[in-house]
Chain A
Amino acid sequence: MRYAMAIDTKKCVGCSDCVVACQTENDVPIGYCRDWIVEVTDGTYPQLETEIRSERCNQCDNSPCVRCCPTGASHYSEGGIVLVTPEKCIGCAACIQSCPYDARYTHPKGYVDKCTFCIHRVKKGMEPSCVAVCPTKCMYFGDLDDPNSAVSKVLKTRKYKVLAPEAGTKPNVYYLI
């Protein structure tokens, strides 16, 4: 099992619903977020192109954050999801330094926190809350090993990219372009 997400940059309008849904679902402390919106404008006026992306932890296959964690608090869980065990985390922030996507932050309680792909929902057969709430239905979630999952299907038909592939982390969040 390999959980992955595909996000359609052509459909995303940058409404931040996914950000708020995540904050509510996961009790993210005020002033922090596990997912966020990036708007990139390329080109020279008048030939401009804008891309809007909803970003989060990429649940990388080759995660530097898991590698550098001195206590094993950061670890791979089922389906390749990278999780942090608060009771093992010493809050050294090595993993924050190691993530090329800056997807982690120190929770006010001291441990490091990040996106979990809403594993607590996924285990019950539901979608991650950001995927479920998206008004334009621009996110696809599922198991890459299952050819019939939403994410496998959309990756078969659409062009996609990952962010900063040169960082070598083998990310599992795909952006449809």
Chain B
Amino acid sequence: MREEIIISGRMNLGVDPVLHAWGWEISVYLFLGGLAAGLLFFAGAYYLLGKGDNYPAAVKKAPVLVPIFLVLGLAALFLDLHHKPYFWRLYTNIKFQSPMSWGAWTLMIITPLSMVWAALHIREWFPKWDWKFQWIRDLEDFFSEYKKHMAWAMVLLGVILGIYTGILLSAFNARPLWNTSILGPLFLASGLSAGSALILLLSKNERERIIFTRIDLILIGIELFLIIHMLMGFQASTQAQIDASHIFLGGDLTAPFWIFVVVLGMLVPAALEVMELRHIKVPVIIPVILVLLGSFMLRWLICNAGQLSRYLY
């Protein structure tokens, strides 16, 4: 039996006594990235399905917000960097084995793309919008020709960005709690769910609301399945991962995880959405806020729990 472990002589800020190399910035970045990915995916997908006019909130209205989310997310990431003057080094090479690297490059492509899409639909928010300069109007006409290509790119890059928010963490085998390939799909589902919730909030169209309520219900179901699957997977894995999963199964972060992520972030909004489908009126803002909060808490708690899990000591 290992009765006592004493560690002496090490006290590195940010590493000891528990690792906290990544704070709120990374959680915010992952949350906003996931939300943006969800919105872009739905906008692109429904545009390609020819539903632009049936689902205006998804295809035209919500994506206008995406550049704001992405810029805020990137700002959070930038805040997290400790050697800021050198951040441009991210773009002097591509390293395929580094999730950070291809995440940075995906964002490099997806941010301008989302800005163009937002510019094309800015009149959804400001009907009297005028681009003032002729060359911008010409540019608008030019990009309008390529909406189909852009929609394809948004669907693909949306999925990549959504999965990336999970893979960024799951690629670290040093943190047993993150080291599961479920994290990619789980964060993707969570991002899509956050996206569909926001669309729900912006939609004034009955048909669109019903569709996105259903989509969100399915996504919440998938998320619950993936969470259970992940925790069961840990139980069947190595000691390091069994110990790691205890953080959520009786350990330090058990209460916040089950209360904020599972109950308030998934079960309650799902129940409210079912009520809505049954024509029992619930103010839509309540499930939407709960889903968004749950999506953020999922990332925040997994980000922190991973840093509590380790191999040694």
Contacts and interface: CB of A to CB of B under 8 A. Distances in A.
A19 B5 CA distance: 19
A91 B4 contact: no
Interface residues of B, number: 50
B140 to A, nearest CB: 35
Interface in A77-128: 86-94, 96-102, 104-106, 109-111
Interface in B90-111: 90, 92-93, 95, 97-101, 104
A137 B110 CA distance: 57
Contacts of B307: 97
Contact of B87 (A19, A33, A39, A90): A90
B98 A102 contact: no
B89 A97 contact: no
Contacts of B21: 93, 96-97, 106
Contacts of A31: 11-13
Q: Chain A binding site: helix, strand, loop or mixed by DSSP? A: loop
Residue of B4, B10, B95 with most chain A CB atoms under a 10 A cut-off: B10
A135 interface: no
B9 A16 contact: yes
A94 B9 contact: no
Contacts of B80: 92-93
Interface string A1-37: 0000000000000101001000000000001110011
B48 interface: no
Interface of B: 1-16, 19, 21-22, 80-84, 86-87, 89-90, 92-93, 95, 97-101, 104, 171-175, 238, 240, 306-307, 310-313
